[in-house]
Amino acid sequence: NRCMLTLLGTLTLGLTGCAGDLSILDPAGQAARDVVLIWWIMLTFATVVLIGVVALWLYTFKRKYQERTPQEERKIARCWIIGGGILLPVLSVTALLIFGVPTGKRMLPLPLSQPPEVIEVIGHQWWWEVRYPGAEGGEVVTANQLIMPAGEPVDFHVTSADVIHSFWIPRLGGKIDMLPGRTNVIRLEADAPGVFGGQCAEFCGTQHANMEFYVEAVEREEYDAWLAERQEERLAERALANDDFAQARDEFASTCASCHSVAGLSASTIGPDLSDIGARYTLGAGTLPMEEGAIHYWLENHQTLKPSNKMPSHNYMDTATLESLGAWLETLTP
């Protein structure tokens, strides 16, 4: 038993050290704090139950055989059934319900005196489309990365373009299913500015694991400035500005543009919007870190890096073309 206690203690201590982009044990918003509190309560309770069961199990080995009448046996059995089989589950599940209902309610889009910011997220196999309908001067669209104001509630309207996905930002709370043909809403709030990881939490095909995103929570003023900066015309200006890449732009317009949108050049919504791809942290929704030359590498190897992704292979293009396409796309930052 001492061995078991030591093991449990070590495990618990080990868990308190869990941190990182995707750790629910490192909450950065009230909804996530509520969830993690319930998690700790459940872990503690389950540990107590486990210790009790193990103790009883060991006791049965040591117990001396006692002569009992059938009535006495039945009485003891009834005690265990009522206590351990009915009373304990009813009490513990009721306690969890009392904790759980307000936590769930916090993430519901209940009416507020000031309507919260709305961000739309659409799940695709295997990437995220993000839309900001509230932007002044027209909707702003990005992919695989989203920015939100910190210190205020944000309503995420989520849906799917193909199969069922699940929208999850573990450090802010959640998660919620993204269903084709239906919009679900989850309200989340980040306490303070920071960068958080997001992950698809519903198996959605072979590249489900490579369906990540990043969330950047920033001060309200910074958020408004960012939205203004991402207006179509501004991005388009930048996309068309650099004459060194005229050829890459032509190549893009004649091939990539049938699926991808770049402000000022094309408006297809089949693949991720690339108007600001140079500003992303990763490529392929978390498959590859973004760095110099990464887009070129991705264009040549994406079917090996993320097999079955919907982008056709580019083997028919020569390296120089892919290289200049990659270099140009890297310049697309606001």
Site for ligand CUA, rule CB under 6 A: 123, 126, 165, 200, 202-204, 208, 211
Rounded-to-integer distance, Cα 191 and Cα 147, Å: 14
Closer residue to ligand CUA, CB minimum distance, 167 or 245: 167
To ligand CUA, the closest distance from the beta carbon of 45 in angstroms equals: 31
To ligand CUA, the closest distance from the beta carbon of 130 in angstroms equals: 14
- Please give the single-letter amino acid code of residue 35: V
Closer residue to ligand CUA, CB minimum distance, 202 or 323: 202
Closer residue to ligand CUA, CB minimum distance, 145 or 324: 145
To ligand CUA, the closest distance from the beta carbon of 211 in angstroms equals: 4
Would you state the torsion angle of the CA atoms of residues 14, 17, 23, 28, taken in this order, to the nearest 10 degrees?
140
Closer residue to ligand CUA, CB minimum distance, 40 or 203: 203
To ligand CUA, the closest distance from the beta carbon of 127 in angstroms equals: 9
Query: DSSP class of residue 285?
Result: T
To ligand CUA, the closest distance from the beta carbon of 200 in angstroms equals: 3
What's the gap between Cα 314 and its chain centre?
Answer: 30
Closer residue to ligand CUA, CB minimum distance, 158 or 200: 200
Give yes or no for a contact between 229 and 334, defined as CB atoms under 8 angstroms apart: yes
Closer residue to ligand CUA, CB minimum distance, 165 or 260: 165
Rounded-to-integer distance, Cα 120 and Cα 158, Å: 6
To ligand CUA, the closest distance from the beta carbon of 204 in angstroms equals: 3
Q: Which tokens belong to 13?
A: 């201590």
CA distances from 175 to 170, 199, 323 (A): 8, 10, 39
Closer residue to ligand CUA, CB minimum distance, 30 or 166: 166
Strand segments, DSSP code E, in 56-206 are: 117-124, 127-132, 140-143, 145-149, 154-160, 165-169, 173-178, 184-188, 194-200
Nearest to 129 by CA among 325, 274, 287: 274
What is the torsional sign of CA 316, 319, 321, 322?
A: positive
To ligand CUA, the closest distance from the beta carbon of 159 in angstroms equals: 13
To ligand CUA, the closest distance from the beta carbon of 208 in angstroms equals: 3
Closer residue to ligand CUA, CB minimum distance, 148 or 204: 204
Using DSSP's 3-state secondary structure scheme, residue 283 falls into: strand
Structural Rg of the chain based on CA atoms? 26
